[in-house]
Structure 1
Amino acid sequence: MVMLSKRVSGFLIAFGVWSWWIWPTFLKNIWGDTRSWNHGATGFFLVHLVLVVVSLGLGTAIGAIGVRGWRAAAR
């Protein structure tokens, strides 16, 4: 088992929070782009949607690891 320091755990938590702040904003901007829609979603939109979903998933996982590390370091 690897023990994370509070400093590293804090960085991972900050990364998770940053991901949830940046990627929804990015999706909102892509949603409004004229290249995203042409009688339905375009490939441009779908590729960026996959990017956002994967990035939010990774940001959530990394943030959760940070929270677990923070709690373990506190003990």
Structure 2
Amino acid sequence: MTISRRVAVFLLAFGVWTYFLWPTFIYNIWGSDRSWVAGSPTGYLVVHLVIAVVSLVLGTAIGVLGIRALRAAAR
């Protein structure tokens, strides 16, 4: 499959955006009053952490695809 330079840049930008967005989200969820009860994590925190981790993994994969496609386009 051939990925155009335009699509490769989009994929890379999506990966970078993911690393900008989700750590901020995790920080905000971690500090939320609904995340902890008596020092123990709640379901709210656990679910949102799982969502954030999955999103970071997918963002990483998409960003790597973008980098590889840009390198292939340069050759």
TM over 0.5: yes
Q: Residues of 2 paired with 1:31 and 1:60: CA distance? A: 22
Alpha-carbon offset, residue 3 of structure 1: 1.0
- Residue identity in the other structure for 1:24: P
Q: Residues of 1 paired with 2:16 and 2:37: CA distance? A: 33
Structure 1 partner of 2:55:
55
More strand by share: 2
1:19-58 paired onto structure 2 within 5 Å: 19-39=18-38, 40-58=40-58
TM-score, length basis structure 1: 0.97
Counting aligned pairs with the same residue, the percent is 59
Query: What 5-or-longer segments of structure 1 have no aligned partner?
Result: none
Structure 1 partner of 2:68:
68
Shift >2 Å, 4+ stretches: none
Q: How many residues align?
A: 74
- Residue identity in the other structure for 2:28: N
SS at match of 1:22: helix
TM-score, length basis structure 2: 0.97
Q: Residues of 1 paired with 2:58 and 2:52: CA distance? A: 10
CA RMSD of aligned residues (A): 0.5
